[in-house]
Amino acid sequence: METTKIVKEIYIAEFKEIISKHTSSIVINPHALDHISDGQRKIFNTNELINPLLHESPAGVGLQANGRYAVFYKRKYGFLRIIVEIKNSKLEITTFLNTDSIPNLKRL
pLDDT 10s per residue in the chain (108 long)?
678 999 999 999 999 999 999 999 999 988 887 777 777 666 667 788 899 999 999 999 999 999 999 999 999 999 999 999 999 999 999 998 889 999 988 876
> pTM, whole model, 2 decimals?
0.90
| Extents of the domains making up the chain | 6-107
Counted residue by residue, the chain has a size of 108
Beta pairing class for 90-99 and 26-28:
parallel
Cα dihedral 101, 107, 83, 18, rounded to 10, equals 130
Query: In CATH, which of 3.30.2310, 2.40.50, 3.40.1280, 1.20.1740 is domain 6-107?
Result: 3.30.2310
Q: Which residues in 72-95 are b (16+ Cβ under 10 Å) and which e?
A: bbeeeeebbbbbbeeeeeebbbbb
CA distance 17 to 79: 22
